Amino acid sequence: MSLLLHSRTLLPGLVLTLVFTGAALISLVWVPYDITVLDIASRMKPPSWVHPFGTDQFGRDILSMIMEGARTSIAVALVAVGIGMVIGVPFGLAAAVRKGGLMDEVIMRGNDLVFAFPSLLIAVMITAVFGASALNAIIAIGIFNIPVFARLTRGAALSLWSRDYILAARVAGKGQARISLEHILPNVANLLIVQGTIQFSLGILAEAGLSYVGLGAQPPIASWGRMLADSQTMISLAPHLALFPGLAILLTVLGLNLLGDGLRDALDPKLRRARV
């Protein structure tokens, strides 16, 4: 609790994140209106008590769309970050075992290769080749999370391998894999959590970007990026069509970034000591 109070960013970040995660979770069981049913007669209605965020160009309730869109965004970003971690972290751990070794070189040069491409461009390529869908968006975004986590893990792990307690573990007869898992991984976990939060927000942005150009989730699945794209030509007629999905993206990404910053402050032992 004192953590929350000490960090100026942690609390607002956490609140924003919880709001959108909550909206996504609620949409699993309940949304105000069924968004697969169009009601052309009541299209582009401004916000009112019946439709708090108004209705879109097909008469769908925008609040319901935002809630289901949150689910799409969060699901895509979460799985993509998951892919990045599950593949990237073992790579990083393996590379750090012997700096400059063959394994290290192969893994890190592979990383450089992926890093060398602008991520959104490759994501566009992947979805263009394999077809536009939420699944392909996940894969495309996930691939670019691999080197991020691999590098981070390797960097942090390298500095740990020279510590005395690692030496002690080796003397005790533990193998490299076991040391990596039992001693290195727990000590880099906080870094991974912070980075994961940041990558999560980037994933949401990437999903919105892909959907905006029509390469993300396809209709009738709701998606914030596509909502923005669809409302583009109507912005002077019905600004609320673009306002709410835009705000949703902004606030979610802001919330996750604040949360990431706050977590870093809270988990970093050096900063913690300075504060005390």
- How many other CB atoms sit within 10 Å of the CB of residue 15? 12
Tokens 């004192």 found at: 2
Q: How far is the CB of 43 from another protein (least distance, A)?
A: 7
Provide the residue type at 39 as one letter.
D
- In sequence order, which ranges of the chain are alpha helices (DSSP H)? 2-6, 10-29, 62-97, 102-116, 119-130, 134-161, 164-171, 176-179, 185-212, 224-231, 240-267, 269-275
Nearer to another protein, 226 or 264 (CB): 226
Nearer to another protein, 76 or 217 (CB): 217
Contact 227, 245 (CB under 8 A): yes
CA distance 171 to 165: 10
CA distance 70 to 268: 30
Interface mask (CB under 8 A) for another protein, residues 68-107, using x and -?
A: ----------------------------------------
Does the footprint of another protein cover residue 38 (CB under 8 A)?
A: yes
Nearer to another protein, 22 or 220 (CB): 220
Interface mask (CB under 8 A) for another protein, residues 121-140, using x and -?
A: ----------xx--------
- How many other CB atoms sit within 10 Å of the CB of residue 259? 26
Interface mask (CB under 8 A) for another protein, residues 185-224, using x and -?
A: -----------------------------x---xxx----
Tokens 């929350």 found at: 4
Footprint on residues 39-68 left by another protein (CB under 8 A): 40-41, 43, 57-59
Which one among 4, 18, 237, 250 touches another protein, defined by CB under 8 A? 237
Binding-site residue total for another protein (CB under 8 A)?
Answer: 20
- The DSSP 8-state label assigned to residue 232 in this structure reads G
Question: Which spans of this chain sit near another protein (rule: CB under 8 A)?
Answer: 36-38, 40-41, 43, 57-59, 131-132, 214, 218-220, 232-234, 236-237
